[in-house]
Structure 1
Amino acid sequence: MQMTPFFSGITRREAQFTAVGVGLALVACMPLLARADPGMIPGNDPADPGAEQALDVQRGDSCEDQLPADTPAHVVCRWLTPPQDAAEVAAFWSADDGANLEAAEPLSPTASSTARPSRSATSSTTPRASVSSAATLVTTAIESARSARLRIWVESDLADDYLAGAVQFRRALDALAEAARQPGVIGIKFADNLAYSGFTSSDDVEAFLRRATAALREAAPDRRLAIGVVVPELGCGAEATCVSAMRAKAPLVTKKLVERYLRVAAVEQVYVSNGLFASAYRRYQLTDPRTGNQRPITPAVATRAQWLSIKALGWDTLAQLGSREYGLAHSGPTAPWNDAQATAQLDARIGTVIGLGVPTVTLWGHRAVDGGRTYRLLDADLANNPVWSHLIRQKLRERLSAVFDPRSTEVGIRQDIAALGKAVGEIFIVV
């Protein structure tokens, strides 16, 4: 296959991430999941021997050691499949006459449950009573984002408002539409982790989507619409016990039902959550076909499993897909990773996704408050850390987005947005 036309159209940094991501994507994909835990993913602690590791030539992750001595510095070499993983990859996809490929077909959900986890972490924790004050802050944020030359979306999770009744739903719709009509705004994201909590039937979810999309298209006809979804079972790959557990835990967001929602919504953009449920996924074991040894599934493996499944399902024919990454945020004032660990995290979480052809990755966690804890991408007071510094150096700004709540800032709306704009080219402003 002739690859020159593809690589000639992207930057060196994009080519590096693509190569790393494809290499990671072709390693065996399977288990992990349970309760949503944004931020520092349990089981991925830098002190944990099972944590993600940076690429290592000695391990065979890179093929740069096989290049001629006079190779120009700009040439980057990464295995599509590292030699140590080739046998595992071949065994996985060829097993049972390709049964793992067929496993990507939509499957039937199990019995429903009325359990309701907590509201999406991206939703504002500010009471809705101060509507006028919040609107002023949103306007300031939009103006600041325009000054920083960012692509601007506004977002709010309208599901809880819908479930609270017609009056609150209309009030929330009007506020979101008003923000969307401001100059510079290109789109509206109106649901996050759709149907993971709150709803009791898929019919209710579909009714919500029809009402919300109709109202927003009428109120802001020239704006793009988007929703966010989470599909826990996809991180399991073909590990059947994990899949069953995830369906039982979140019966309204099986891959079969989520596909139905995408068709009903008919929105332009869909963002699939990534970086959640790590503590649960690690309960399930993957068997190494070479040694017979079992190992837990890391966040990188769950990411590969999810996006390979999404590609097989063909959801990119229904909407433009993006990733919303929760696993790069940390709780506390400073990030826990050193340079090598930060590089490994970014390769696993962003490199994998971009390498599989997903155009954009949205980063959650800029001073986001959830469950009584504060999560950050930068450190407190907008101080840089290894993750953020590495993101800036990668120069992937046009492929990266960030979620920003103007009611929760480190220094101030303008200063925070200016800091975010150094690494990302797009912003989702919470209304």
Structure 2
Amino acid sequence: MRRRLRQVFIIGLTLSLLGIGVPAYSEDGDRNCNSDLPAGTPSYVVCTWLNTPEEALETAMFWLGNDGQNMEDAAPIPPIMIDCSEEGNSCPTDSEGDGQLHDVDGPDVPGAEDGGTPECQNGEQCYVDPNTITEAEKTAAQETPAGQATQAMAQTQTTMRVWIETELADDYKAGKLTEAAKRIAALVATQPGVVGVRFTSQLGYNQTFTTADELDKFVSETATALRTLLPGKKLAAHTVVPVFGCGTDQTCTAEMTKKYPLLDPERIGAWLSKGYLDQLALDSGHLATAYATWKIDATAAQRNQWAQVQGRAWDAYAQIATEDASFTAAGSSALTEEQITKAIAERIAAPLRSDAAETVTLWSRWQNEQGQINRMYGEKWAANATWEQLKKLDTIKPRLATIYDPANPEVDPATDLQKLSEVFGQVYLHTS
């Protein structure tokens, strides 16, 4: 009985492999199967069996007979070959290639085996990939502050993941996106370990773009240009969504929507769902004061924001980050140990615990328009309570990132990057 069941199973499997369906049996022996069609089927639809059960079984037994020897003996139908030298045969001569057989993976024209551009067969101008980054462009990129910083990181062997941070909105507005994107691609090409590019900040919040269509075109065209030049690299952007902090307050929502018409959550969500961005950073700087009119404090505004992000499942499309500059102060952070502990709980732990933000980007040093430097650490890396407390967050260091401008170092890129790696697992190298 066991052998019989096994034979039936093998027959069924063989029939499926051969593309032979086993039809329902028709007692009158004909091939009509109209009775199996669902009710309401139009009369012009006709059902006819291709194989009766007996025929299907006979076919299966043919291939299974003698331990499947017929199947083993079966061979592909020999290809139809045409000898172009025979009289009467006409073969085209204007197709691609040189008409000669070549080894598998072998070059089809002279010179290609050296990795260079082969000579064209008929003397015409050969195709040159416009997206190729030349050695000259790579050399120029290495000489920039950001290029030198990436080399310094390799020399100091820090464990931070590296992003390139830049602003391409102005280049886009000036009609120079292609040149700017290629310049950034050359910089990334000098350091294979670069994760990706953050190509804009305060997107839709600043005054660079005035219409929604212009904003959407910038995101889509820039993302397309960078993905073409940098296949496999991640793309990121920074913005703010003021309406998220309102929560369920409809008056707040209406006012924020009117005040920031370009920062529509549906538009931003579309950038993610269409694959333009791999990471989206949401600024939290406005959460402390922007909602005072509606008696929404910073804690409630932040809770509202991350509830909105989580409810929209944005993290299903891209990595979501929160960005914060509140740990810095003019000259140096003056927070006490108690204050910095509270700030860590509210500004770092809370977004991560909400399971909406996956990384936290903290500004560690920046300079305002008046030239005043703001730091989270002391001048020339002097110790303070803020820096010492942040160094204790070793378990979440991979989730902490910062922005570093190698053109304006605290000491020098090698020293600065080594010190930053004490707190941060990722760094965005700024380039203008």
Q: What's the offset of the Cα at 1:370?
A: 4.8
Equivalent position of 2:179 in the other structure:
171
The one-letter amino acid paired with 2:212 is S
Alignment of 1:136 onto 2:144: yes
CA contact (8 A) 1:229 1:258 kept: no
Task: Label 1:258 to 1:373 Cα distance change in 2 as closer, same or farther (>3 A).
Answer: farther
Task: Label 1:407 to 1:149 Cα distance change in 2 as closer, same or farther (>3 A).
Answer: same
CA distance in 1, matches of 2:333, 2:267: 37
The one-letter amino acid paired with 2:308 is S
CA distance in 1, matches of 2:350, 2:428: 23
Q: What's the offset of the Cα at 1:276?
A: 2.8
Equivalent position of 1:405 in the other structure:
405
Task: Label 1:425 to 1:319 Cα distance change in 2 as closer, same or farther (>3 A).
Answer: same
Q: After superposition, where does 1:150-169 map in structure 2 within 5 Å?
A: 150-163=160-173, 165-167=174-176, 169=177
TM-score (normalised: structure 2)? 0.62
Equivalent position of 2:272 in the other structure:
262
Q: What's the offset of the Cα at 1:371?
A: 6.2
CA distance in 1, matches of 2:273, 2:372: 36
Task: Label 1:336 to 1:249 Cα distance change in 2 as closer, same or farther (>3 A).
Answer: farther
Residue 187 of structure 1 aligns to a residue in which SS?
A: strand
Q: What's the offset of the Cα at 1:201?
A: 1.3
Alignment of 1:342 onto 2:337: no
Equivalent position of 1:379 in the other structure:
378
CA contact (8 A) 2:278 2:318 kept: yes
CA contact (8 A) 2:237 2:279 kept: yes
User: For structure 2, which runs of at least 5 residues remain unmatched after alignment?
Assistant: 1-138
Task: Label 1:248 to 1:380 Cα distance change in 2 as closer, same or farther (>3 A).
Answer: farther
CA distance in 1, matches of 2:166, 2:275: 16
CA distance in 1, matches of 2:402, 2:425: 8
CA contact (8 A) 2:325 2:362 kept: yes
Larger Rg belongs to: 2
Alignment of 1:389 onto 2:379: no
Equivalent position of 1:321 in the other structure:
320
Q: What's the offset of the Cα at 1:308?
A: 1.3
Q: After superposition, where does 1:198-209 map in structure 2 within 5 Å?
A: 198-209=208-219
Task: Label 1:235 to 1:144 Cα distance change in 2 as closer, same or farther (>3 A).
Answer: farther
Equivalent position of 1:69 in the other structure:
none
The one-letter amino acid paired with 1:170 is T
CA contact (8 A) 2:141 2:190 kept: no
Alignment of 1:182 onto 2:180: no
CA distance in 1, matches of 2:261, 2:240: 12
Equivalent position of 2:92 in the other structure:
none
CA contact (8 A) 1:180 1:223 kept: no
Alignment of 1:193 onto 2:202: yes
Q: What's the offset of the Cα at 1:157?
A: 1.7
Equivalent position of 1:119 in the other structure:
none
Number of matched pairs: 287
CA contact (8 A) 1:269 1:322 kept: yes
Alignment of 1:231 onto 2:241: yes
Residue 251 of structure 1 aligns to a residue in which SS?
A: coil
The one-letter amino acid paired with 1:178 is A
Alignment of 1:356 onto 2:367: no
Equivalent position of 1:26 in the other structure:
none
Task: Label 1:356 to 1:237 Cα distance change in 2 as closer, same or farther (>3 A).
Answer: same
Equivalent position of 1:312 in the other structure:
311
Deviates more, 1:256-265 or 1:409-418: 256-265
CA contact (8 A) 2:219 2:276 kept: no
Deviations 1:174-212 (A, max 9, x none): 221111112221111112222112111111111111211
Task: Label 1:370 to 1:416 Cα distance change in 2 as closer, same or farther (>3 A).
Answer: farther
Task: Label 1:430 to 1:368 Cα distance change in 2 as closer, same or farther (>3 A).
Answer: same
Superposition CA RMSD, Å: 2.1
Deviations 1:204-248 (A, max 9, x none): 111111211111111111211112221011122222332223222
CA distance in 1, matches of 2:370, 2:211: 26
| Structure number with higher relative contact order (C-alpha < 8 Å, ≥ 6 residues apart) | 1
CA contact (8 A) 2:280 2:319 kept: yes
CA distance in 1, matches of 2:315, 2:269: 11
CA distance in 1, matches of 2:213, 2:238: 18
TM-score (normalised: structure 1)? 0.63
Residue 280 of structure 1 aligns to a residue in which SS?
A: coil
CA contact (8 A) 2:287 2:302 kept: no
CA distance in 1, matches of 2:381, 2:366: 10
Equivalent position of 1:56 in the other structure:
none
Equivalent position of 1:420 in the other structure:
420
Q: What's the offset of the Cα at 1:135?
A: 4.7
Residue 144 of structure 2 aligns to a residue in which SS?
A: helix
Q: What's the offset of the Cα at 1:372?
A: 4.7
Q: What's the offset of the Cα at 1:145?
A: 2.8
CA distance in 1, matches of 2:142, 2:228: 23
Residue 402 of structure 1 aligns to a residue in which SS?
A: strand
1:219 equivalent among 225, 229, 239: 229
